[in-house]
Amino acid sequence: MKGLQNLTAPSGDIAPLTVAIATHDRPHLIGDALSSCCSQTLKPERVIVIHDGLSDETSEVVGKFGALNVTYLNAGKVGLGYARNLATALCKTKYLCILDDDDLMLPNRVRDHMKSFASGAQLSHGGWVNFNDRGELEFMPGKAVTEDVMVYAGAAITHGACCYETAILREFPYRDDLAGGIDFDMAMRVVRSGVKCAHTSSYVLLRRRHAASLSAVHGGDQRSIRRAIVNMIDWQRNDADIDERRAAAVKQEEFVTIAPPLNEIYSTLGGLHSAMRVVGTVPRRATAFFSLLVGLEIDWSELEIIDADPNLTATIKLACRPTRDVAVLESFDVALRKSAINGQVLSASVLQSVAGPLATSSPPESFRLLLRSVALKELFLAHRILSQKRPWDWFVASRHERFQGREGVAHYLVSAPFRKAKSATQQRIFGEDLKAFVQEQTDLSATVIE
C-alpha cells in the first residue's frame, strides 16, 4: 500500500516460527507483506517466499529485505496448493505461520501465536481486520473452531490468521488439484482430526479485500468446494441432528477481542487514504454519556452521536468528525479506551470511512419527529428540558447539509419511531412539547421537523 515503510526488524528474541508466503506475480503487494514481517515485536526465525508465477520483479522486491532471513524459491506456475506444500517441506522450525501475499501481519502476531502454543495448542488463530483501498475496516474477531461452527456458521477463522505446528501441515497437506477452496478443505481435515485449537484473544492480521484477491477471482470455486464438503458431512450424520447442530453453531458467539490501537493499523497500512472517523459504543444513560464527553481531551462539540440500535435499547455510538488528521483520530481512540463506566471498559472503537446522509431507519408505517439545530449544545439543553416533562426515547444524529442559509453540520434530536396506528396520542404530545420548547427559547436557532 502506498506510503508503507520498509521497517527494520526490532531487536529481541527470535521465535521458532517460519512465515510462509506463496505469491503469484504481485511485486506491488509482496513488499507490504514482508514489511509487516519486519515490524513484528517478536521476530520470526525465517520467512519462506514461494513464487508461483513468472514476474522477475518479485525477486527484486524480496531481495530488498535484508533484515529478514528470507528463503526465496521461484517454482514457476505450480499452483497455490503445491507452492504452500513446498514451503512446508522447506520449513525447519516447529511452527509455520501462513501469510497471503496481499495481507499484512499486525506487529503482535508472532508473539501472540507463541503464547497460544505455550498453552498446548497445535493450531493458533486470531481475529482479522478486512480492509480495502478506500480505508474501510471490518473487524472479524473469529469464533471457536469446531466442526459444526465451520460447517454451518462460518467466520470462525480465516486461513491467513492461522499458525500451525509444522507437523500438522505435513500430516494434512494442501490439495493441489482444486481450483479454489483449498484453505477450507485443509482446515476442515485438521479440525475433524481433533487438533487442539486456541484463540490469541487478539487481532493478528489485516486482510486486503480487492478485485484481484483469490476470494474475488475464485469465489465461485471456493463456494462450490465448501458446499461439497458440507453436503458430505451432512450425509454422514443423522438427519434428525442436523437442524439442532446448525442452530447451535449459528448461536456461537464471537470471541471478545479488543481491536488493536489505531496507531498500529496506521503504521501497518502506511497512513490514511481518505477522510476517516472513529466510532465507539457507549451506554445510553445520560449521566454516563455526559461524564464521558466531559472526560474527552478533545473538543466534544465536534463529535457526532449516532443511533446504535433502531430499537433504542442500551447503547449509542459516538463518533469523531471525519478527518485525515491521524493525531485527531488517535486522541479520540485513546480517550474511548481509557473511559470506564461502572467498571465496564467501553467496547473497542472501530475505524470507519465517512458515512452518507442521516438515516433514521424507521419501521414500516411509522415516523419520527426531529428537532434540528446548528448548535449541538442546544440539543443537549432541549433533551434535558424535555426529559423533565416526560421520559422520551431519543438520540442525536448529525449530517452535513445546507441549513439556515449556510453550509455546515446540522444536528438532530430524533424521537423514537411512532407507529401511526398505536401512538398517535404520544406523537401529538411529543410534538406539542417540542413546539413549546422552541417557543420558550427565544434565542434558539432550532426548527421542529414533523
Report strand pairing: 197-208 vs 123-131. parallel
Please state, in angstroms and as integers, the Cα–Cα distance from residue 298 to each residue in 85, 110, 133, 286, 338, following that order: 52, 35, 29, 19, 14
Q: What is the DSSP string of 163-229?
A: EEEHHHHHHSPPPSS-SS-HHHHHHHHHHHTT--EEEEEEEEEEEE--TTSHHHHSHHHHHHHHHHH
Encoded amino acid at 151, one letter = V
Percentage of residues in the chain having pLDDT higher than 90: 21
Q: Please write the tens of the pLDDT for every residue from 257-273.
A: 666 666 567 566 665 54
Q: Please write the tens of the pLDDT for every residue from 142-181.
A: 888 877 777 776 667 888 999 999 999 999 999 888 767 7
Q: Which domains does the chain have, with CATH numbers?
A: 14-250 (3.90.550.10), 263-449 (3.40.462)
Q: Which three cell numbers stand for residue 329?
A: 483520530
What region does 194 belong to: left with phi over 0, alpha with psi -120 to 50, or beta?
left
In the predicted structure, residue 305 carries a pLDDT above the cut 70: no
What is the rounded average pLDDT of the residues 125-144?
A: 79
Listed residue (47, 35, 39) closest to 3, CA to CA: 35
In the predicted structure, residue 375 carries a pLDDT above the cut 50: yes
Confidence label for 417 from pLDDT (cuts 50, 70 and 90): low
What is the rounded average pLDDT of the residues 407-414?
A: 63
The whole-chain average pLDDT of the chain stands at: 71
Residues found in the chain: 450
Whether pTM exceeds 0.75 = no
* Radius of gyration of the chain measured on its C-alpha atoms: 26
